[in-house]
Amino acid sequence: MLVSDLFRLSFHNLLLHKIRSLLTSLGVIFGVGSVISMLAVSEGAKRKALSQIEAMGIDKIIVYSKKPPLAGKDSSTSNASFTETYGLTVRDRKHIVRMDNIDHVTPVRDSRFKVMKGTKRLDLKLVGVGSEFCLDSGCHLLKGRWFKPVDFVNIRNVCVIGERVKRKMFRIGQRDIIGLSIRVGRHLFRIIGIIGNDHGTQYPELGSPNDMIYIPMRTSEAICKNYAFVREGRNAKVTIIDYDLLVVSVLDVTHIDNTAKRITAYMRKTHTETKDWGVLVPLDLLKQRERTQNIFTIVMGSIAGISLIVGGIGIMNIMLASVYERRKEIGTRRALGAQKRDILLQFLIETVFLTSLGGIIGIGVGVGISQVITIYADMPTVYEAWSIILSLLISGFVGVVFGTYPAWKAAQQNPIDVLRSE
């Protein structure tokens, strides 16, 4: 039998029972749909996470201060020591700047002032930053300007605010806030610019750059030196901390691991008492995240794959029933000269057609599901060409796997028996 005739025959048979064909392939439709949407969601999540990490900069090493596990050790509880010193020091910064492969180091220091709006405390931070911070943190200017060298030199009381600061501090309708002043504690700062960060960057211990009010480092040093009063319950404490964050830019990304190791070694050597610091390499994080995302994708894919198997079993069931129902047809075809192979191929192609058709519809369903997820769950979804091709191949493959047995069963029908069974 000619192959083209076989295809035509199988297709014809499917069209005979449109509703049944559709119902039969429902399993595959939703199986493929879930594969597509799962992959799209996980790919979207992956991209988002990666861009977050990437925004911190793949040529950056983040060195940060960390509150030691047991602040002030035992002495603080018994002795009620009021000062607490930890974190990165000026010495650390100066040393790191002089290391090999370092381009520049941008310091960040939290003033630990409470930012208030009326009597309400806002979840905002007033931080002193170096002049390169805007660039190094992947932020972009939304309005106004970033600090000029003159702001640093003259220790001006100016500030640049993060995107969300505006929303939290000012009325919704308020348009032009450049030039206005905000008050933090006893200090007034004139707003000169607004910056934003779209990547969802999160700095350890500090959080998002969108929730910060930036002032020049020198201003910060001038108004509060390097200590801050912190009230913890009934105890008032003085926290002495030079820098909360050092954003280290390297010259050559290929050696970033070595540089990070050297910084780590240095920090370990100088901060012997407690581990009050941390080193973060976004590139490492990126690689690690990629690995975990891949595992996530595999797990999601497997779950979706199970639904495909269920769909396949459904198809196998229907095809087996169909073989029984069409025994007379099979017997007649065999009597008229169809070989076992012809019958086998006819049924197999029918099943593969069915599952492939289900696969095509399933891709549409999957895209639809992902759109719904994107709209209602606010999760980014990304389809990739390979996931669509893969789904098509898998649905065809499901047809072959689950169609073979029914097709074989059909081919094995004894024409005498089936012709007699009228």
Partner 1 sequence: MTAPMEPTSQEALSIVKLEDICKTYVTGELIVPVLKGINIDVMRGEFVGILGSSGSGKSTMLNILGMLDVPTSGKYLLERQHVETLSDTELATIRNRKIGFIFQSFNLFPHLSVEQNIEVPMLYAGVPRKVRRERAIELSRQVGLGHRLGHRPTQLSGGECQRIAIARSLSNKPAFLLADEPTGNLDEKTSADIIKLFHELNASGSTIIMVTHNPALEAHFDKVIYLRDGRVSEHQNINFGGGPDVGE
Nearer to partner 1, 14 or 29 (CB): 14
Nearer to partner 1, 13 or 322 (CB): 13
**74 contacts partner 1 (rule: CB under 8 A):** no
**341 contacts partner 1 (rule: CB under 8 A):** yes
**409 contacts partner 1 (rule: CB under 8 A):** no
**Of 54, 284, 290, 329, which one interacts with partner 1 (CB under 8 A)?**
329
Q: Are 201 and 138 in contact (CB under 8 A)?
A: yes
138-to-53, 135, 198, 310 alpha-carbon distances in Å: 10, 5, 9, 47
Nearer to partner 1, 1 or 50 (CB): 1
Give me the least distance between CB of 329 and partner 1, in Å please.
6
**338 contacts partner 1 (rule: CB under 8 A):** yes
178-to-83, 189, 214, 402 alpha-carbon distances in Å: 38, 11, 14, 68
**334 contacts partner 1 (rule: CB under 8 A):** yes
**5 contacts partner 1 (rule: CB under 8 A):** yes
Size of the site for partner 1 (CB under 8 A): 26
Nearer to partner 1, 1 or 373 (CB): 1
**332 contacts partner 1 (rule: CB under 8 A):** yes
Q: Are 222 and 105 in contact (CB under 8 A)?
A: no
**Of 123, 337, 376, 377, which one interacts with partner 1 (CB under 8 A)?**
337
**339 contacts partner 1 (rule: CB under 8 A):** yes
Q: Are 263 and 69 in contact (CB under 8 A)?
A: no
Give me the least distance between CB of 378 and partner 1, in Å please.
50
Tokens standing for residue 268: 């370990």
Helical residues (DSSP H) of 108-216, grouped into ranges: 133-136, 149-153, 163-169
Tell me the window of 97-105, 191-199, 278-286, 323-331 that interacts with partner 1 (CB under 8 A).
Answer: 323-331
**240 contacts partner 1 (rule: CB under 8 A):** no
Nearer to partner 1, 237 or 334 (CB): 334
**18 contacts partner 1 (rule: CB under 8 A):** no
Nearer to partner 1, 338 or 401 (CB): 338
Cα–Cα dist 401/56, whole Å: 47
- Dihedral of CA atoms 96, 98, 100, 102 in degrees, nearest 10, equals 60
DSSP-derived secondary structure letter, 203: B
**16 contacts partner 1 (rule: CB under 8 A):** yes
Cα–Cα dist 53/33, whole Å: 30
**123 contacts partner 1 (rule: CB under 8 A):** no
DSSP-derived secondary structure letter, 114: P
**325 contacts partner 1 (rule: CB under 8 A):** no
270-to-8, 88, 90, 277, 308 alpha-carbon distances in Å: 79, 10, 12, 11, 58
Closest CA to 64 of 227, 241, 287, 283: 241
> Contact positions toward partner 1, by CB under 8 A?
1-2, 5, 9, 12-13, 16, 328-329, 331-342, 415-416, 419-420, 422
